[in-house]
Amino acid sequence: MAESAVREIVASAPGKVNLHLGVGEARTDGYHDLVSVFHAVDRREVVRLLYDGTPVDGPAVQSMHTTFFVDEPDEDIDGPGNLAWRAVEAVMARAGVAVPRVRIEVDKHVFVAGGMAGGSADAAAALVAANALVAEYGEPLPDEVLGEIAASLGADVPFSLMGGTALGTGRGDELVEMLSRGRLHWVFINPKIGINTGGAFSLLDDLRHGNPALLPHMDATELSQALTSGDVARVAAAMHNDLEAPALSMRPVLKRVLGVAGEAGRRAVVSGSGPTVAVLCDDADAARFAAEHLAERFDGYEVFVAEGPDRGAVVEKVG
């Protein structure tokens, strides 16, 4: 690409925390029925598509590069299997419009494999960026088609596209917007210990066979009422995660993190399948204080502050 001819489209999408995650029995398709309350936070992934303006046939993506503002994983994630790469190719295949080949650049601000749907946010940002590129050369895809592509890429991608606060059912990708009054202030701490998501679900199934008390929590009514009230204490009391039990069993160190984090804020829970711990605080000042305290107590862990709800995937720049 000639340097003077390069154009770019910039998009972003939010990380998320599960305020509620109820996991039902395993289904015949290998998934579990879920009842999840997703909450988007303003720790956002940024995706850029760089192109030279010359439409070509064939694969849309030329290359990909990720810049990490969190700890970098050991494996190379910049390839055709990356969700952002797949998202761009899926949009172009569905649109049927000849576009220039693109370089994808990702600024990664959400923990990698941390239970905050960072990869899904990359995909959502790539979807809207790719659709903006399609609009430069033809007719863009309607929102409902982008939603279909999002669901095909992963269960968390539709919420990353939507943002805000939402109730997710089915695989978690059947979404209904929820009312949430006020702002919620968070600290996120990543112990940097891997937890396999599929393994966490399987272990939960095993744990339930030996412990009838681990019933699925499939009713988020109490949390919905708490969110509507805008009362942080009520929201904290209503938060729940069925995957917390297997996460603690797989990584016992999380028990200490949860204990210390819970004392630093209003309530601490494992986010998604973990290992990230989300700490709900009373306000922005309390969140900053808690983050400083946790960074001191857990040297080497990644800690950041965020708030929500935040908007979904959006195009920030075309030019």
Residue corresponding to tokens 């968070």: 186
Beta strands 302-308 and 184-190, pairing class = antiparallel
- Output the CATH code of domain 3-177+310-318: 3.30.230.10
Burial class (CB in 10 A: 0-12, 13-18, 19+), 261: buried
Each domain of the chain, given as residue ranges in start order, spans 3-177+310-318, 184-308
H or E element that contains 154: none
Show which residues are catalytic.
Answer: 16, 156
Report the C-alpha gap between 109 and 188 in whole angstroms: 12
pLDDT in the model for residue 2:
45
Q: To the nearest whole percent, how much of the chain has pLDDT over 90? A: 88
pLDDT in the model for residue 68:
97
Tokens representing 24? 């039902």
Residue corresponding to tokens 């978690």: 172
Tell me which residues of the chain have a pLDDT lower than 50: 1-2
| Positive or negative torsion for Cα 7, 41, 272, 288 | positive
pLDDT tens digit sequence for 59-101: 999 999 999 999 988 889 999 999 999 999 999 999 999 999 9
Nearest to 18 by CA among 226, 222, 172: 172
Report the C-alpha gap between 300 and 305 in whole angstroms: 16
pLDDT in the model for residue 211:
87
Domain 184-308 -> CATH class: alpha beta
Q: Do domains 3-177+310-318 and 184-308 have the same CATH topology?
A: no
| Positive or negative torsion for Cα 58, 62, 68, 72 | positive
